[in-house]
Copies of this chain bind each other. A is one copy, B any other.
Amino acid sequence: MSKMQKKQDIIDHAFELFYDQGFNTGVDAIMADTGISKRTLYKYFPSKEVLIAELVEHYRVNVIPLLRAEVERLSPDPKGRLIALFDVRQAKFAEGCFRGCFAVSAKLEYACRNPQIEAASEAMMADMTGLMREFCVLTGHSDPDTLTAQAMVLFNGAVVAAQASRSAAPFDTAKGILRALLSFPRPRGERVAEQSEAG
């Protein structure tokens, strides 16, 4: 097993452990789960918090492209893809996996305590907002930035409500609202002409 593969192995196991059991999980659990000694763990990562920061970064780099690919596979049109973003996330909860956003959890846990983890979490959240905005723009909505902000509130609300209630139902509610928002203010160039003031 190469150096990169071993580091990846640690990242994979540590990610699952922290995601499932929270950030207060001990490094001993990571060692046991990965099947390595403490010395090796600390050879690859100088500290537990640096490891967590790299986990968030790894989450961002991998999940965003994966999410985009899956959404684009599920639906051909922008509105459908926007809804599909919720569908993909909802599917995890429906499987009985009631985990929130790894980056949001990290941000809340290390807020005002670890700038590196905070920065990685903010980067992940920015990328997620960027992905959401891409699809919002493509819908031809007259105010894509407002729509993006709305979709993000709905997405976060669905995730946290699903997590707390251990039910996927809030996603159906969120998708219902999103569909209403997509149909109520007319898309640009359909009837009303207000391109001039749309950023």
Question: Which residues from chain A sit less than 8 Å from chain B, CB to CB?
Answer: 22, 24, 98, 100, 104, 107-109, 111, 121, 125, 146, 149-150, 152-161, 163-166, 169-170, 173-174, 176-177, 180-181, 184
Number of copies: 2
| CB-based contact B150/A161 at 8 Å | no
Q: A154-B154, A154-B157 are in contact. Are A170 and B184 (CB under 8 A)?
A: no
CA distance A115 to B141 in the complex (A): 46
Given contacts A22-B109, A104-B160, A108-B163, contact A153 B181 (CB under 8 A): no
Residue on B nearest A100 in the bound complex, by CB: B108
Are A173 and B150 closer than 8 Å at their CB atoms? Answer: yes
Main DSSP-derived SS at the A contact region: helix
B residues less than 8 Å from A176 (CB atoms): 146, 150
Q: How far is the CB of A54 from chain B (nearest CB, A)?
A: 20
Which residues of B are found within 8 Å of A156, using beta-carbon distances? 156-157, 160-161, 164, 170
